[in-house]
Amino acid sequence: MTPNQTLNGRYKVIRSLGEGGMANVYLAHDLILDRDVAVKLIRIDMQDDESALRRFQREALATTELVHPNIVGVYDIGEDHGLNYLVMEYVDGENLKQYIHDNFPLDFKQIIKIMKQILNGVETAHLHGIIHRDLKPQNILIDKNGNAKITDFGIALANEDSSFTKTNSVIGSVQYLSPEQVRGHVATQQSDIYSLGIILFEMLTGKVPFEGESAVSIAIKHYQDQVPFVRSYDDRIPQPLENVVLKATAKNQMDRYSNIQEMSEDLDSTLNPERASEDRFVAGEQNEETIVLDQAEIDQKLNTFTPESGDAKIRYSTNNKVNYPKNVPQKESHRPKHRHPIRRRALFTFLVMVAFIGSILIAFKLSSPRMVNVPGLTGMTQNAATVKLSKSQLGIGKVTKSASNKINYGSVIATLPTAGKSVQQGIKVNLEVSIGPNSFDTDNYVGGDFSSTKKQLEKKGFTIKEHQIETTKFDNGRIISQSVVAGQVVVPRVTTITFTTAR
């Protein structure tokens, strides 16, 4: 599509908003209702793809009945010269993934506010019997007023529809995929709840819980690994808020919230003082069952793992029994009998086990990442902090700017993870850097030394200039007058003071 092209004489294309694997999205103007809309158009090379068309139609059917302020509305569906399109509400903003990147770290109250809106939208879908199955920050839009709206119901599934469970494909985005979806099982409300827990994890930490070299390796981690504690990234996160993440992302669906309302009510009270001493949530024990997956690639990868071995390449099978023929007479051995064969066999087995365990411990020690403590950086300049982090084999993460009445301009206010926290060598540490105080009462600097005054004020964020004049009334380098009068309240980072000095 090109700008100014019109669909069915009604939707005039303005510009592209984004391109995807199945469809492209454009900003358009509805010439009849005089409003901007978003038009999703199946890509030309996908117009004859039956699965793409079914997904497209599924999204239209799923969302036309979902009218809610936190769900992107669908206005129209049509076809023009063989081009299938969907007309949707236009949200002027950015997706949650980009919003987290641009605004991290987010205030806890803001996180709860956004999360509540997302939960409200998902609850409406669930009440209509629709499971989203692909909840992720990229499918949640944040408008200019900070309101969240869920989009992309292209793989949404009605509760009674089991057609997708008969295929060999894993549906959903792997970074936010529930363990049961990894195994190819039918998605449930609890599957969406798991994805919401991962989204909350990312809002709190700025990261996804599991990374890997491939989609398969990440999927395996979702199936077998515990989601990390968010408080290990930032111990300022309230325990009740961490507990919401842990309960939502429990491996067993029975340990998760029974529905969205229960999760929403729990989230509501996470900042209440009476919950401040709450213990960490612990899910029930998992059943040790043999898992058989339909997905060929994931099955092959999972068979190199055991629940206890982590990344150890140990193959296992459920068919290790050897069937011996029955009623076959055993030949009598003519070998001489040795004394204490059981004792020798036990000793040999013991030595083998010791060697085996020892090799595992050595391998674990060698492969384990080295842990280091985050150094104290408060009060240091950003450059000095960078050097100190480098000496500790740590990197610089995101740098945010904040006003501070106590920390000088350009110096570190705080770090995330916090100072003293034990972390893996090589991780990036986020810095909060001072932009000086928001306001400052200007002193009377007349008669003072210009050099020392300049250094003092530049630390506060002021821009300092000097104008020298010949005089015998003041010693060289002394301040004769100042451009900002004493007692005037100013914002240092946007204020320039010019001093007239003697020479």
Length of the chain: 503
Q: What is the pLDDT of residue 82?
A: 80
Q: How far apart are CA 123 and CA 366, in angstroms?
A: 47
How, if at all, do strands 35-42 and 74-80 pair?
Answer: unpaired
For the segment 182-208, the average pLDDT, to the nearest whole number, is: 94
Q: Which pLDDT value is given to residue 459?
A: 84
Tell me, what's the pLDDT at 194?
98
Task: Enumerate residues 6+ apart whose C-beta is below 8 A from 35.
Answer: 29, 90
Average pLDDT over residues 434-447: 83
Please calculate the CA angle 42-46-49 and round it to the nearest 5 degrees.
115
Mean pLDDT of 279-293: 61
Confidence check: pLDDT of 64 > 80: no
- Average pLDDT for residues 154-171, to the nearest whole number? 45
**What's the pLDDT at 293?**
42
Residue 344 has pLDDT above 80, yes or no: no
Closest CA to 486 of 440, 428, 450: 440
Task: Evaluate if residue 317 carries a pLDDT over 80.
Answer: no
The string of pLDDT tens digits covering residues 4-22 is: 899 999 999 999 998 876 7
What is the share, in percent, of the chain residues with pLDDT greater than 70? 80
Which residue type sits at 489?
A: V
- Check the annotation: does 313 bind a ligand: no
pTM exceeds cut of 0.85 = no
Q: Which tops the pLDDT comparison, 465 or 20?
A: 465
pLDDT over threshold 60, residue 356: yes
User: For position 53, what pLDDT does the model report?
Assistant: 76
Q: Is the pLDDT of residue 445 over 80?
A: yes
pLDDT over 60 at 157, yes or no? no
Where does residue 121 rank: exposed (0-12), middle (13-18), buried (19+ CB within 10 A)?
buried
Indicate which residues carry an active-site annotation. Answer: 134
Tell me: pLDDT of 209 over 70: yes
Alpha-carbon distance of 173 to 180, in angstroms, equals: 13
Kindly report, residue by residue over 85-129, the tens digit of the pLDDT.
Answer: 889 999 999 999 999 999 999 999 999 999 999 999 999 999 888
Which range among 157-161, 186-190, 316-320 shows the weakest confidence by mean pLDDT? Answer: 316-320
Angle at 162 between CA 79 and CA 259, to 5 degrees: 100
Mean pLDDT of the chain: 81
Distance separating alpha carbons of residues 351 and 349, to the nearest angstrom: 6
Condensed to tens digits (0 to 9), the pLDDT of residues 293-315 reads: 445 555 554 444 333 333 332 23
- 333 band by pLDDT with thresholds 50, 70 and 90: very low
| Degrees, nearest 5: CA angle 292-296-302 | 55
What mean pLDDT comes out for the span 278-297?
60
Cα(127)–Cα(68) distance, integer angstroms: 12
- Distance (Å) of CA 138 to CA 20, 67, 71: 12, 21, 14
Using the 8-state DSSP alphabet, how is residue 212 labeled? Answer: -
Residue 155 has pLDDT above 80, yes or no: no
Name residues whose C-beta falls within 8 Å of residue 404's C-beta, 6 or more positions apart in sequence.
413, 434, 435, 436, 437
pLDDT 10s digits, 227-243: 999 999 999 999 999 99
| Average pLDDT value for residue range 126-151 | 92
Given a contact cutoff of 8 angstroms between Cβ atoms, the answer to whether 148 and 70 are in contact is: yes
Range among 76-80, 97-101, 289-293 with highest mean pLDDT value: 97-101
**What is the model's pLDDT at position 360?**
64
Q: How far apart are CA 468 and CA 476, in angstroms?
A: 9
Q: Compute CA distances 79 → 39, 72, 84, 245, whole Å.
A: 12, 21, 4, 43
Q: What is the pLDDT of residue 245?
A: 98
The residue-averaged pLDDT of 489-493 equals: 79
Looking at mean pLDDT, say which of 137-146, 283-292, 360-369, 457-466 comes out highest. 137-146
Among 40-49, 320-329, 330-339, 342-351, name the most confident range: 40-49
Residue 362: the pLDDT is: 62
The mean pLDDT value for 190-217 works out to 94
What whole-number distance in Å separates Cα of residue 464 and Cα of residue 453? 9
pLDDT of residue 228: 94
Domains of the chain, CATH where assigned: 6-89 (3.30.200.20), 93-159+171-272 (1.10.510.10), 371-434 (3.30.10.20), 440-502 (3.30.10.20)
